[in-house]
Structure 1
Amino acid sequence: MSTVIVTGTDTEIGKTVTTAAVAATALAQGRRVAVLKPAQTGVAPDEPGDVAEVRRLAGDAVTGSELARFPDPLAPATAARRAGRAPVRPREVERAARSLATTHDLVLIEGAGGLLVRFDEAGSTLADVAQLLDAPVLVVARAGLGTLNAAALTAEALRTRGLRCLGIVFGSFPPAPDLATRCNLADMPEVTDAPLIGAIPQGAGALPPERFRSAAADWLAPTLSGTWDATAFAGSLHEG
């Protein structure tokens, strides 16, 4: 994998922290990593966005790229329209990703919100970017009640477009999971027909960067160059 698309089943579910963990783990293996944010919304020109947060957590060795920034915290197409600016289109993202891939071993493309959030007035989405790049899609999901339906819908949307779901990562796993959250560890792969390949601890983004980097591999499965195992993780919760 030289390029991976990172999407979510919703907004504010730990997509950026998950992207940072994947980047940190790859960097620890000596890989050259770039993070591309096609459209950053809801952030002022002088404020740090998602790319800056990934670099803060994973390290300055990450190359960051942001194609456009719009002030309103809305879907990229709507935010661009309200700002009176041209939207970001899939071909622009494709070109930027391919350029980064010539000098990096791994390019992570972090979307805004979910898979089918609109980029432009034509209805283009992150799924179109994945098709242009023939790139696998990593889905970040909530851990608790209600997540199965949203994740299943995202996985179905990927399949109908002929896209590969790399796997599901829980973007913020609580320290004391309730019954629904514990059951979701077993149910998620079944309802999505995709492997569960990570669980980022709740509050991981607030860790000191050095601790974040040293722990990141423990949160991600070997598919993402980590050591996390879903069966062992579920077993440890049961024992607790």
Structure 2
Amino acid sequence: MASNWNLITGTGTDVGKTYYASALAETRRRVGQRVGVYKPVASGCEPDETGRPVASDAVLLWNAAGKPLTLQSVCPQTFVAALAPPQAAAAEGRRVDEDQLISGLDAWIDFDEVLIEGAGGLFSPISDSMLNLDFAIRLQRRYPVKITLVAADRLGVQHDVIACVRAAQASGLAIDEVILNTINPDSSTPTNAAELAKWLSIPIRRWTRSDSG
């Protein structure tokens, strides 16, 4: 079984989860690790030449990890509509397969490290009866998963991070680290990490895409 499992979730959509996860996968691969990458479900996908919807996030992860297994192994459930996964599935007369959200990871258990990217923010719906939070809790019952919370390092991030961390803790999920992604810096960016450290007792790191080399 993989020795390291890392679920990369976010305070919301478009905070840089995929870029961070891809950079992490590439870094691990460069030092000789076999890295598995997994995104349990994705919406807003474009059909490929066969008509199967393909998630652009999954393509980035797959390429960063050196194209292990197949693209379908990276993201087994894909839907076209740019909606939350359960809504996107319903638009196609389908439902997100909740069992497959977890069982899809079986393909990756022999890798050195497995990086899992959630779909949307930590409290976004991932299926008809599960939030990403619920997925994370179920995941931790099966694997020793580290939880990384990615947030955009801009004005308002203190609220977003503290709210997510405290709500997760109240639900029984501990966040192990926070990544502040400097995607659109503003006047708050230089001080957000230090201010958050006054309220949280977990590691908080600033990161930008240039850090991936």
Task: Tell whether the structures are fold-level matches, with TM greater than 0.5.
Answer: yes
Question: Contact 2:35 / 2:65 at 8 angstroms: preserved in 1?
Answer: no
Residue 199, structure 1, aligned to residue 207, structure 2: yes
Question: Contact 1:72 / 1:79 at 8 angstroms: preserved in 2?
Answer: yes
Question: Contact 1:189 / 1:196 at 8 angstroms: preserved in 2?
Answer: yes
Match of 1:54 among 61, 65, 70: 61
Question: Contact 1:40 / 1:49 at 8 angstroms: preserved in 2?
Answer: no
> Counterpart of 1:152?
162
Residue 108, structure 1, aligned to residue 123, structure 2: no
TM-score, with length taken from structure 1: 0.75
Residue 131, structure 1, aligned to residue 137, structure 2: yes
Alpha-carbon distance in structure 1 between the residues aligned to 2:172 and 2:30: 32
Q: Secondary structure at the match of 1:131?
A: helix
Equivalences for residues 11-160 of structure 1 within 5 A: 11-46=13-48, 47=54, 49-56=56-63, 58-63=64-69, 64=71, 65-89=74-98, 91-101=99-109, 103-122=110-129, 124-134=130-140, 135-160=145-170
Question: Contact 1:39 / 1:76 at 8 angstroms: preserved in 2?
Answer: yes
Residue 166, structure 1, aligned to residue 198, structure 2: no
Structure 1 unaligned residues grouped into runs of 5+? 205-214, 219-240
Question: Contact 1:152 / 1:191 at 8 angstroms: preserved in 2?
Answer: yes
Question: Contact 1:70 / 1:76 at 8 angstroms: preserved in 2?
Answer: yes
Question: Contact 1:169 / 1:200 at 8 angstroms: preserved in 2?
Answer: no
Deviates more, 1:47-56 or 1:72-81: 47-56
Identity of aligned residues (%): 28
CA-based RMSD: 2.1
Deviates more, 1:60-69 or 1:146-155: 60-69
Alpha-carbon distance in structure 1 between the residues aligned to 2:68 and 2:180: 23
Q: Secondary structure at the match of 1:7?
A: strand
Question: Contact 1:137 / 1:164 at 8 angstroms: preserved in 2?
Answer: yes
Alpha-carbon distance in structure 1 between the residues aligned to 2:107 and 2:176: 22
- Closer, same or farther in 2 for the Cα pair 1:178/1:127, shift >3 Å? closer
Q: Secondary structure at the match of 2:126?
A: coil
Question: Contact 2:155 / 2:186 at 8 angstroms: preserved in 1?
Answer: no
Alpha-carbon distance in structure 2 between the residues aligned to 1:12 and 1:160: 25
Q: Which amino acid is the alignment partner of residue 164 of structure 1?
A: A
> Counterpart of 2:51?
none
- Whichever structure has more helix as a proportion of its residues is 1
Question: Contact 2:11 / 2:151 at 8 angstroms: preserved in 1?
Answer: yes
Cα deviation for residue 2 of structure 1 reads 2.1
